[in-house]
Amino acid sequence: MGHAEPKAIETELRDAAEERYLNYALSVITSRALPDVRDGLKPVQRRILYAMFQNLHLTAGARPRKSAAIVGDVLGKFHPHGDQAAYEAMVRMAQPFALRYPLVQGEGNFGSLDGDSAAAMRYTEAKLTALAEEMLADLGAETVAFRGNYDATLEEPVVLPSAIPQLLMNGSTGIAVGMATNVPPHNLREIVAALVAMIDEPDLDVKGLLKHLKGPDFPTGGELLNSKREIREIYETGQGPIRLRGEYTVEDLARGKRQAVVTSIPYTINKAQLVEEIANEIIARKLPQVLDVRDESTTDVRIVLELKPDVEPATAMAYLYKHTSLQTAFHVNLTCLLPTPNAAVGQPARVTLRDLCRQFLDFRMIVVTRRLEHEKRQLQARLHILDALAKIYDDLDRAIRIIRKAESRADAARGLMTAFKLDQIQADAILEIRLYQLARLEIEKIRAERAEKRKRLKEVEALLAKPRERWKLIRAELERLGETYGDKRRTALSAGEELEYDPEAYIVHEDATVVLSRDGWLKRVREVKDPASTRLREGDALFALFPGTTRDRLVLFSSKGALYVLRVGDVPATTGYGEPVQSLLKFGDGERVVAARLVKEAEKAPEAAAVDGQPALPGIIQLTDEVLSVIVASAKGYGFRATPDLSETTRAGRRLARVGEGDEIVSVEAIAGPHVVAATAHGKMLRFKVDEVPELAGVGRGVILMRPDKADDRVVGALALAKDASFVALTPDGGERQIAVREVPAGRRAGKGQKVVKRGGVAGLRVNGASGV
């Protein structure tokens, strides 16, 4: 009998192509590219871990096996795709520079930061890490659904019953059809803290979570440049750029030479290519400050930049951050598969940080509940047998007589069931007892086991009866994972606590005036009608007075090159002398305030009060974008321009300038014009263009602004003003002299200047109302 010819179905090419492409897109989205929100894994990763655990028993304590054997087992049983793709997926799970917390422990060449490929799978070996076992430990407790493999000969888990928040912990990257995912890794201790906080407060929002989870924590370290507000927006929307740059240190060498050493690079950046980029910039003479670049990395990153003499490292690094991949962006896209009523199919969606945490915790509740229900069934089954054994042991001689008189096993079972009121399962279990188990010690063991099982059954039933108790159990398990596997954050928050700006809503908005004395006594009062009447200690003098509100920020620049920003509402309110700045902020020995500013958020700043009959130092600034350009000067004549970050700092402050030995910062003044006027204590002054002063992106010493020509002379300050402006030269005896900018002889930066104040010298400079350019 012949077979019928298959019928051809006629259809439009457009319709056929559309249908097939949609099927392909759905397959890529749900079965290849996107991770599941619950265990954070893509199918190939899940199948590798499952095969290593369930089939090959490659636990953390086992001996590793050849990668080829692992890949072969995965392909043959679960993943009918290319062997190289499966091997690369396993290699990535073993790379400490790719995963924040590796799930596979590899032996052999598994690649490097320089982009080197892993050795062929026939040469390398692998096994699971202890952390990966936490994702698989509950597999045998009926915690997750299973489905058939590709040929329906075996079963595989739809999702792993992970006890760890893998998606947040290690992140994920993938490109599907019409969508992609790019989830950054995070620090396990911070994740656990955030999850515990959500258990305690189920309605916790992203802002609340970010009090514990500070932001991404990349395996290669680096430095985050985003503000707290930007990070919050990224986690609230599920997308946005994370700005990341490598860190560096400065090493002093013999003969006054220095070198900058890059100690970390941005995530996913190829180190060898980065070094090549820097070398190309040097060869093209686009970076004259750097003589050479060397890669001295071993297990740690160490890229050495050999600098020319007298070059400020921050200047060179600012260029590299702008023109090479030493600074880059990680574009966050929190897209993943969410569970649906069909356990085998996930729904792709972009989620928020809160969604990720909520989904994981809800999944943990399901897993823990199913695990407890499975344990309850196991306990009940075992107690069912133990209860029968207890009945038999209480009348053992009678049971033996029944068995001896029986003509068959079935007859013995019926006799026991009748005499002791047992069921078939219990009777069969009794008949399986070996003779040695009738000894007194064995009987006592059975009774002890029965008591222990009963106790545990009550505990399990109590947990199942009260969701709150199960949440406590989940919390305890998470805290154990954090303590066992957590570590310190690798990615610095440069902006860490520094760039993170988060106004506190509970601060009362009211008028306030900040008073700062020359000796560093600080206080807040409601208003000051007459500055001369301000209460000061004997011998002290008024340094700065700023009317504003409690929501404004006070910015203090110190002689050690630090910047401190605190909210006016945090300044002690008192009618007395106030509090020493050192008690509010972590000042070092000999550190003092050399300049102060008030950053206002109101649309219009009030007029500054007068001090000693003269207009106050114009230190009230209005910044909607929080940008202030300043010129910094030190006693030895070094200086630079900068745009300091004016967001709130910790008590330790934020470093603005690097101060050399025997030197100190003497002035930090807002740039109000194109002409720089610098002065020394001996009365010499110098005027030059502000463009001659470099602007530093990082902490540095700068260049020579003015060179004192005598050992006992020092620079006392530098201003940047308009040419038709004037300023005040303060004399050591408390006097003042008005000087026009035009009166100061013009020259070039690093000159010695000419004598302008011929008697008494100069103690400092002060702005006296500049206008025009």
Q: Which positions are annotated as active-site residues?
A: 123
Residue with token string 């038999």: 392
Measured CA to CA, the distance from residue 519 to residue 219 in angstroms comes to 46
Residue with token string 């009608």: 529
Measured CA to CA, the distance from residue 330 to residue 695 in angstroms comes to 27
At 204, list the tokens. Answer: 């916790």
Positive or negative, the CA dihedral 389, 394, 397, 399 is negative
Contact 686, 753 (CB under 8 A): yes
C-alpha pair distances (Å), 286 with each of 94, 319, 321, 719? 39, 9, 14, 31
Amino acid symbol at 93? M
Work out the number of other CB atoms within 10 angstroms of the CB of residue 557. 24
CA angle 233, 236, 241 (to 5 degrees): 45
Stated as kind and residue range, the H or E segment containing 240 is strand 239-245
Contacts of 711 (CB under 8 A, 6+ apart): none
Helix (H, G, I), strand (E, B) or coil at 709: coil
Residue with token string 């792709």: 348
Q: How many helices (H) and strands (E) does the chain have?
A: 19, 39
Helix (H, G, I), strand (E, B) or coil at 174: strand
Measured CA to CA, the distance from residue 418 to residue 422 in angstroms comes to 7
Amino acid symbol at 69? A
Measured CA to CA, the distance from residue 497 to residue 566 in angstroms comes to 13
Nearest-CA neighbor of 27 among 138, 150, 134, 115? 150
Nearest-CA neighbor of 419 among 438, 407, 401? 401
* Paired residues of 66 in beta bridges: 125
Work out the number of other CB atoms within 10 angstroms of the CB of residue 534. 18
- Residue 416 C-alpha from the chain's centroid: 66
SS3 content of the chain, % helix, strand, coil (to 5): 35, 25, 40
Measured CA to CA, the distance from residue 364 to residue 370 in angstroms comes to 10
SS (H, E, C) 543-581: EEEEEEECCCEEEEEECCCEEEEEEHHHCCECCCCCEEH
* 12 phi, psi to nearest 5 deg: -70, 140
Measured CA to CA, the distance from residue 264 to residue 326 in angstroms comes to 9
C-alpha pair distances (Å), 471 with each of 164, 353, 379, 474, 681? 15, 20, 22, 5, 69
Contact 693, 703 (CB under 8 A): yes
Sheet with strand 579-580: strands edge to edge = 542-549, 511-517, 521-525, 579-580
Stated as kind and residue range, the H or E segment containing 668 is strand 665-670
